[in-house]
């Protein structure tokens, strides 16, 4: 989030997370971390510790919202961090930031039948924010499939709340049918929809981010472990892998292990796009690189550097262990997505707010 925003003129005022390991990873890249980063449960954070700012962002845990979780929603143990964020905004009173940006998995839209998303937006409205929502897949910017739902809240001036109108919502790349339908059918929510351009289409592919490690590098798995991975593939995926092996050139794919019919299966993807980076808790979230050609194949986990590149954080200084890095990148936001949002949305809103306040400033 910080890297993407800084590219368009924003600067950090405060950072907060409950996880000490994420702080260690952040500190390894940002040497000023000790000046603004608070490692604490957000429910224990006081509004008095939060400085006034132009923008507040929050990426609260998706554990209870995603298909991989138990679907306990915003009342769940992890995703309820959202309400800690709302509490802080409420307690800030007239120091509330004029702009808020939320990010989460697209499952936020349908969690608890849409009730969670509705409750979240109404909570924002209750604090004086008109709301907008859009979906952006990081695959538009990097070779990683990573669709995410974003919500922007814009603080209404007290005398203009009634003037905020909900425009016609047109289907677009950033507002697909499910989201457009939600906006159209929830007139009780105070919307503040803005038109956005379509995100770009990157030509980058998996091969462009892969590190060229020698075949005797310790990251590569043993022949036995690689053969075991092949044997976990379905007959269709094994045929694809065998075709890659027979080629007279190297080609790449990624593999996730998934439970299918109570059995661990290895699912191979070869379209040049990595699957969504995840946190490696439980083991199944660790994405595997599959390299094949010239009658051979090799397998290993994606490296931290490859994960950084897949998140658009190419030059990130990584000074933590493999699992710690995989966890940090799997829980992050794509830098280039945030940079695009800053350029085409946040900066324009900030400029409009500055102009409006200048016009109404007492003389």
Cβ neighbourhood burial of 147 (10 Å; 0-12, 13-18, 19+):
middle
46 and 136 inside one domain: yes
Q: Would residue 309 count as lying in a domain?
A: no
Q: Would residue 216 count as lying in a domain?
A: yes
92 and 231 inside one domain: no
Q: Would residue 28 count as lying in a domain?
A: yes
133 and 69 inside one domain: yes
235 and 117 inside one domain: no
pLDDT tens-digit profile, the chain (363 residues)? 999 999 999 999 999 999 999 999 999 999 999 999 999 999 999 999 999 999 999 998 755 555 555 555 556 555 588 999 999 999 999 999 999 999 999 999 998 899 999 999 999 999 999 999 999 999 999 999 999 999 999 998 654 444 444 556 678 999 999 999 999 999 999 999 999 999 999 999 999 999 999 999 999 999 999 999 999 999 999 999 999 999 999 999 999 988 887 788 999 999 999 999 998 765 557 899 999 999 999 999 999 999 999 999 999 999 999 999 999 999 999 999 999 999 999 999 999 999 887 766 665
79 and 132 inside one domain: yes
Q: Give me the domain span that covers residue 103.
A: 2-202+333-359
Looking at residue 161, what is its pLDDT?
41
Q: Would residue 311 count as lying in a domain?
A: no
Choose the final residue of a domain: 286, 302, 318.
Answer: 302
Q: Would residue 319 count as lying in a domain?
A: no
Please tell me what DSSP assigns to residue 10: -
3-state DSSP of 185-249: HCCCCCECCCCCCCCCCCCCCHHHCCCCCCCCCCCCCCHHHHHHHHHCECHHHHHHHHHHHHCCC
Query: Is the overall model pTM greater than 0.75, yes or no?
Result: yes
Choose the final residue of a domain: 281, 302, 323.
Answer: 302
46 and 163 inside one domain: yes
171 and 82 inside one domain: yes
Q: Would residue 312 count as lying in a domain?
A: no
Nearest alpha carbon to residue 337 among 109, 83, 57 = 57
230 and 170 inside one domain: no
User: In whole angstroms, what is the distance from residue 351 CA to residue 58 CA?
Assistant: 22
193 and 230 inside one domain: no
User: In whole angstroms, what is the distance from residue 224 CA to residue 100 CA?
Assistant: 51
Looking at residue 284, what is its pLDDT?
57
Looking at residue 166, what is its pLDDT?
53
Looking at residue 261, what is its pLDDT?
78
Kind and range of the H or E run holding 165: none
Looking at residue 281, what is its pLDDT?
65
Half-sphere exposure of 18 (CA within 13 A, CB side): 15
177 and 234 inside one domain: no
Looking at residue 361, what is its pLDDT?
64
Question: How many domains in the chain?
Answer: 2
Q: Would residue 101 count as lying in a domain?
A: yes
161 and 251 inside one domain: no
Q: Would residue 52 count as lying in a domain?
A: yes
Residue 48's domain is classified under what CATH number?
Answer: 3.40.50.150
Per DSSP, helices labelled H in 7-129 are 20-29, 33-36, 81-92, 115-126
61 and 151 inside one domain: yes
User: In whole angstroms, what is the distance from residue 146 CA to residue 310 CA?
Assistant: 10
């Amino acid at each position: 989030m910080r890297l993407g925003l800084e590219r368009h003129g924003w600067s950090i005022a405060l950072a907060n997370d409950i996880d000490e390991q994420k702080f260690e990873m952040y500190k390894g890249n940002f040497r000023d971390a000790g000046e603004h980063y608070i490692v604490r449960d957000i429910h224990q954070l006081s509004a008095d510790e939060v400085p006034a700012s132009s923008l507040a962002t929050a990426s609260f845990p998706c554990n209870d919202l995603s298909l991989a979780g138990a679907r306990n929603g915003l009342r769940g143990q992890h995703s309820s961090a959202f309400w800690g964020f709302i509490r802080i905004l409420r307690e800030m009173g007239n120091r509330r930031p004029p702009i808020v940006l939320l990010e989460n998995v697209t499952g936020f839209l349908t969690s608890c039948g849409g009730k969670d998303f509705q409750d979240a937006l109404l909570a924002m409205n209750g604090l004086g924010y008109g709301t907008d929502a859009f979906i952006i897949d990081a695959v538009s910017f990097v070779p990683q499939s990573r669709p995410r739902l974003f919500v922007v809240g814009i603080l209404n001036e007290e005398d203009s709340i009634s003037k905020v109108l909900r425009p016609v919502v047109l289907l677009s790349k950033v507002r697909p049918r499910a989201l457009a339908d939600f906006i159209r059918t929830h007139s009780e929510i105070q919307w503040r929809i803005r038109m956005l351009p379509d995100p770009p289409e990157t030509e980058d592919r998996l091969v462009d981010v892969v590190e060229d490690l020698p075949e005797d590098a310790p990251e590569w798995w043993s022949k036995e472990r690689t053969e075991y991975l092949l044997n976990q593939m379905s007959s269709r995926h094994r045929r694809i892998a065998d075709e890659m092996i027979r080629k007279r050139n190297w080609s790449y794919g990624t593999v996730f292990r998934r439970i299918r019919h109570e059995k661990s299966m290895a699912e191979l993807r070869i379209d040049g796009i990595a699957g969504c980076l995840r946190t490696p808790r439980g083991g199944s979230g660790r994405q595997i690189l599959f390299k094949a050609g010239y009658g051979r194949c090799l397998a290993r986990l994606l490296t931290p550097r490859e994960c950084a590149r897949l998140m658009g954080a190419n030059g990130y200084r990584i000074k933590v262990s493999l699992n710690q890095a995989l966890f940090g990148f799997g829980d992050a936001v794509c830098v280039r997505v945030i940079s695009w949002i800053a350029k085409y949305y946040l900066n324009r809103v900030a400029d409009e707010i500055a102009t409006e306040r200048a016009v109404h400033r007492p003389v």
